[in-house]
Amino acid sequence: MEVTTPQWPLLVYIVAVLGLVTFMLGLSYLLGQRHKERATGEYFESGILHTGTSQIRFTAHFYLIALFFIIFDLEAVFIIAWAIAYKEVGWAGFIGVAIFILILLIVLVYEWRIGALNFAADGKEIIKRMKSIKEGEK
């Protein structure tokens, strides 16, 4: 014997939702203000008017920082998930998360050694550039 569920409650719900949305949009259209002033179409963010263009070129370091953030933010998610379920996963889970953290530390040391975490110019490089600029002015 096949039991079928009635479909009319779903249809009533869909009609009620669409009716409510139509009512709210229509009411806001009828009661809303209609004005066009000079600043109406301008962008406004946190009380500061925009200046210039949004087409700014970022250095590669900006993207490198974003990539590092994603990598090390995701590791926090995995470690927190392990910490929540540490009783269920036992020693196997502990060994797995220890290997995971060890790999992350190795990657962090590698990035540090190759200079990927140096976001500012070296002091010696700045002095060298300043000398070359002064010599070029003479």
Low-confidence ranges of the chain (pLDDT < 70): 1, 39-54, 56, 58, 119-126, 129-130, 136-138
Residues 6+ apart with CB under 8 A from 89: 82, 96
pLDDT of residue 88: 92
pLDDT of residue 137: 62
This prediction's pTM: 0.46
Give the whole-angstrom CA distance, residue 105 versus residue 84: 22
pLDDT of residue 122: 64
